[in-house]
Structure 1
Amino acid sequence: MGVLDHIFRTSQRGMPIFTHSNSTMSIMKHLLAAVAVAPLALGQFCEHQWEGTFAAENVEKRLQARQNAAAPPLEIVPLIVNGPSSNRVDLIFFGDGYTEEEKDKFFEDAMTLTTNITSGQTFADVLPLMNFWAGFSASAESGVGVGGQPLDTVYGLYRDGTELRGVYYDKPEVARAACDSTDACDYPILLGNDPFYGGLGGTFTVTTSSPGNGASVLRHELGHSIIGVGEEYDGGTVYRGVNSAQSPNSVSWKQWYTDPASEPNVQRNNMPFQAYPWTLLNTTRSWRAAFSSAGTYDTHMLQFSVSGVTQSSDLLVEIDGKDVGWEVNPVIGVDRWIYNIKFDDALSPGAHELKFTLLNEEIEGSAQLCNAEILEYGEVYDFDEFHGIFPTFSASNRTTYRPTNDKCLMRTMQSVDFCDACIEGLWLSLMNPLSLIDNVTQVAQPDGSTNVTLDLLPLAQFRQVPNNHAETYTILWYGADEDVVLDEFTNSTSALIDSGTTDFGVEVRFWTEQVRVDRNEVLVLKERYEIEN
């Protein structure tokens, strides 16, 4: 059970108690009926902003004030293990809102999410650097809280309101204690037992078990947490890191330009309208918004998201009175989904109207318009892979710049790929705390020499599952004289060190076409070792 099963759980709040016999649609209707219909405010809310009682400074204060929190009892199960925790980046799911009876469901949910984000996409290329685990602690109640009120769960996950967006945590000190209690925790992931869209990045990555959105939210939030980047979608507040530039002349991804000779060249793009209404729709009054266009662009796109709508015939979406041809995602159910509808023609100069009309009375109280945005584009490129300079518009309409149009999952939730700048940042972030050498074995030989063997991180030719990107290791060996290369052992993982030598040196360089700039030489290891015999 998730948020819809627990919103109105206690009768002392004067609300009905739902049981398992309630249909999901019925519960959704009661859930969203509690949402006040607010007037339109452009950029009023971004997807996962920290607000209300949950704020970065409050989390830090709690962590400082509650240093002695006890770790919950954890049953830890390996999901994917590629090497020792001492030389891998460990990600662990901590379940929240899973009762003792739902333990198996937690492990299944964690494995499903792990498989989704690592099987041939997103984190597949860097998977040899990572381990995934699942740590179960039973919650007294099932699901996540809403309205700023957590349930009786281990980490206190909750939604600030009832909208399907951010999911926050009330007990960061317990999450920190859980992470500190195991060696398998570099990036803790709080997994909420809830079937709907929501999450958070930062100190603790948060996602839900939503079948349609859980993995999308997880990969996006891990981008924040691991790479340390901000958003790429419009209407946010945090734009920073390797995927963001404050001006076209401060771009950090020049090495990834598709057409370097034409840069810096800001792609022509405009956002004449954006809103996060989070409003319930009804059949008696359409939701309308006016916007204007200069009429100087070549194409345009409508992006919007709705929840609680399961049939295309339930909702009419129009621009200037013309049906845009929206069709519902048939597998998403009542969960939230983000739709992109592209038009090959230009908007005419002047005033325009965007309108959403609910056509099915039966879903009043459950059908919700979450966000809407109009974008206009200039010259037509094959934007699927093109890396250049694209403007991004914040909630305050401040312009920053990103590397691609819609390729990156930091902009488009349905994308399973990072842009090249982000995947490079991912490699460098993951490799930074690791050693290219897993183990060094020394075996004394009868003649007094020593045979030395290196076990390297399972990349390049040592991958168990090959990937589609060029990779290679370069290995140099040094004897007693640290300036003299033992040429006969170059690029070999074994070397024979002469007798009488007290130490030797190794230089290992990993190269991947996915990293073009490694300023801090994160992909290089130079080390000297003493002969143990």
Structure 2
Amino acid sequence: MSYIYRGFIFLICFAFVFGLSTAAKASYIVKQELSTDGSMRILEVMSSTRNLTAARRLRALPSQIDEHSRSSTKMFEEWLYPDFGSMPALAKSWLLNESRHRTQEAPLDAELRKLVVQGQPENRINLTILGDGYTEAEREIFFEDAQRITDDLFLEDTFASYLPLFNVYAVFVASKDHGITDVESKDTVFGLYRSPKGSKRAIMPGNSSQIRKALKLAPATDFPIIIANDEYYGGLGGEFAITTRSVESGPMVLRHELGHNFGDVGEEYDGGDVYTGANHSSNKNVSWMPWVKGELRVFDVKILAQAYVWQKLLKNPFRQNIKFPAPDLNGFPYELDVDVSSVGWSASGEVRFTFDGENLPLEGRYTDDRSFFELNELNYPIPGNHQIDVEDLSEDGDNILAYLKVAALGHGYIKDKNFIGAYPTFNSSGRLVGYRPTHDSCLMRNMRSKHFCAIDRENMWKRFLDRVELVDRISYDTQTRKIRLETPALPALTIAWFRQTAPDEYERIESAENLSEWKVADKFAGHKLIARVQLETDEVRSPTLRFKREAGLTIPE
């Protein structure tokens, strides 16, 4: 009996691998983790129908991107390989082992719901939303939260133009306990926990293997999202985009984390440690010159103080001493710039924020969750020593100063949200690490924003079209004599039809311009008809070859 069983398994595995190695036009997505010592760990291998001739890297970013702290030293990479033979040996081995052990895993008690379906998963970007810390009694609450967050992403401005490229799925797996581990430990299915304890900051994945197992219950997953059943700010970027169900801050965090994951970019705010990708330049020779009007403006900024404070203010006021710079070489004074984040500041009267004893007006939204503020009026202090004081007036004990940054902006600094130049960015050590495109209009810098800058928007189009073909399918119905072209429902798509008249000669069919379906005249019988599809949008100024695709077939005689 056991011999027969082992032989049966061997035959299945042999057939599985033989099928993979001989399947026509099969491609594979490999997700892997790289350590600083050069070692590689395969996380997942998935089959794909996407056609390509050479391996293509889809993503490369730290496995975990944490706010204002050193992110994971391990790198998460995602590759698309044209066939089984082109994959690394470790990926082939992983796929073989996966086929052996797939039936031995205990199934999860889960429910899948499709929230958005724009096309077949093979040619769409697939988001799968999981929840941690939702009990069985909170099943419907999870699905409501998943729908609310999906609506915020795609019905608001942030990702609305990309919606036809996406499918969204939600998978519910019950936890024993409500909430996630913080000061108090919780028994949850994915083991999410706050780091550091008691903070409103990073939320870390505790059981990554269980997360990946749950993701397999969806038709496909390109970008996983995990909602923590918690009412306050927190999240993470990297392999997983993590946020909370907080109505106030959950969507804000997720927009930012997906900005990392979709665009394969780092931060734009000061005080971080990951500065990479299309929205960053390490020098003044920026890559976004097509978006610059006239000569590139490079701005002068000095960091005077930067602290991740995380200090309770009750009976413990905070003071920051600064030395404001003298005017520049042309005699122009610097402008004071202040950025603050807090927890528990539910009203403006709860905290006094002063500069040399005078109230400093801050602009922002006061909430008991994580809040963000900035100086909202011009202020030109005299050069020399000054002090900023933050004092609790409420006595409720929940007011926390999370972060404070004080800077001096040079003469001619432009804050217009549409202006694109070279704005200095500083890391957690206060060192200049490079430049970003805008002042603070982009949500990769300003958490309160719902918009990406033009450079990030263009970059995401390019990243998305690395994953999605502009043509889903072309077909001809012999009964109706209609030819049909199926594409993502992008308003900016144009379609041009051609008849092939010779090996390298084509005649444009003007009557079928921009038609996705039309009746084929008798004169086209026996001819090959070709559709050329192009995406033309004001959000892209430097399109790649993938913005133009074509498909064709021969009409039967």
TM-score (norm 2): 0.77
Instruction: Give the Cα separation in 2 of the matches to 1:156 and 1:314.
Output: 35
Q: CA separation of 1:58/1:256 partners in 2, compared to 1, >3 Å: closer, same or farther? A: closer
Per-residue displacement from partner, 1:96-137 (whole Å, max 9, x unpaired)?
Answer: 100001111111111111112222310011111112221111
Question: Which residue matches 2:67?
Answer: 47
Q: What is the CA–CA distance in structure 2 between the aligned matches of 1:94 and 1:163, rounded to whole Å?
A: 23
Q: Return closer, same or farther for 1:139/1:50 CA change in 2, 3 Å cut-off.
A: farther
Q: Does the aligned pair in 2 maintain the 1:158–1:167 contact within 8 Å? A: yes
Instruction: Please state if 1:153 is matched with 2:188.
Output: yes
Kept in 2, the 8 Å contact 1:302–1:372? The answer is: yes
The answer on whether the counterparts of 1:46 and 1:395 sit within 8 Å (CA) in structure 2 is: no
Q: Using a 3 Å threshold, how does the CA distance of structure 1 residues 474 and 440 change in structure 2: closer, same or farther?
A: closer
The residue type paired with residue 294 of structure 1 is: P
In the other structure, the counterpart of 2:486 is 455
Identity of aligned residues (%): 31
Q: Which of 461, 464, 470 is equivalent to 1:430?
A: 464
Q: The residue matched to 1:212 in structure 2 has which SS?
A: coil
* Cα displacement string for residues 233-261 of structure 1 (whole angstroms, at most 9, x for unaligned residues): 00000101110001011x1111111x2x2
Correspondence list, 1:96-495, <5 A? 96-146=132-182, 151-161=186-196, 162-249=198-285, 251-257=286-292, 259=293, 261-263=294-296, 265-283=297-315, 285-296=316-327, 297-326=333-362, 329-330=365-366, 332=367, 334-363=368-397, 366-378=398-410, 379-396=412-429, 397-444=431-478, 451-460=482-491, 471-479=492-500, 481-488=502-509, 489-494=512-517
3-state SS of the aligned residue for 1:337?
A: strand
User: CA, structure 1 residues 279+532, in 2 after alignment: closer, same or farther (shift >3 Å)?
Assistant: farther
1:295·1:347 contact (CA, 8 Å) conserved in 2? no
How many residues were matched structurally?
460
- 1:499–1:514 Cα change, 3 Å: closer
Q: Aligned equivalents of 2:174 and 2:77: distance in 1?
A: 23
- Does structure 1 conserve the Cα–Cα contact (< 8 Å) formed by 2:66 and 2:236? no
Q: Please state which structure has a larger fraction of its residues in strand.
A: 2
The CA RMSD measured in Å over matched residues stands at 2.8
For 1:361, what is the secondary structure of its paired residue? coil
Runs of at least 5 residues in structure 1 that lack an aligned partner in the other structure: 1-44, 461-470
The yes-or-no answer on 1:526 pairing with 2:550 is: yes
Contact 1:70 1:177 in 2 (8 A): no
Q: Does 1:82 align with 2:109?
A: no
Aligned residue for 1:437, secondary structure, equals: coil
CA pair 93-49 structure 1, distance change in 2 beyond 3 A: farther
- 1:270–1:377 CA contact under 8 A, matched in 2: yes
Deviation at 1:424, TM superposition (A): 0.6
Asked if the contact 1:155–1:175 (Cα under 8 Å) also holds between the matched residues in 2, the reply is yes
- Separation in 2, partners of 1:500, 1:325: 74
Tell me if the contact between 2:193 and 2:204 (Cα under 8 Å) persists in the aligned partners. yes
1:211 CA displacement? 1.3
**In the aligned structure 1, how far is the partner of 2:554 from the partner of 2:508?**
20
Is the 8 Å Cα contact of residues 444 and 451 (structure 1) preserved in structure 2? yes
Query: Deviation of residue 57 (structure 1)?
Result: 6.7
Pick the aligned partner of 1:517 from 535, 539, 542.
542
Local SS of the residue matching 2:254 = helix
* Matched-pair contact (CA < 8 Å) for 2:470–2:533: yes
Give CA deviations for 1:357-392 in whole Å, capped at 9, x if unaligned.
1123332xx221100011322315352110111111
Match of 1:39 in 2: none
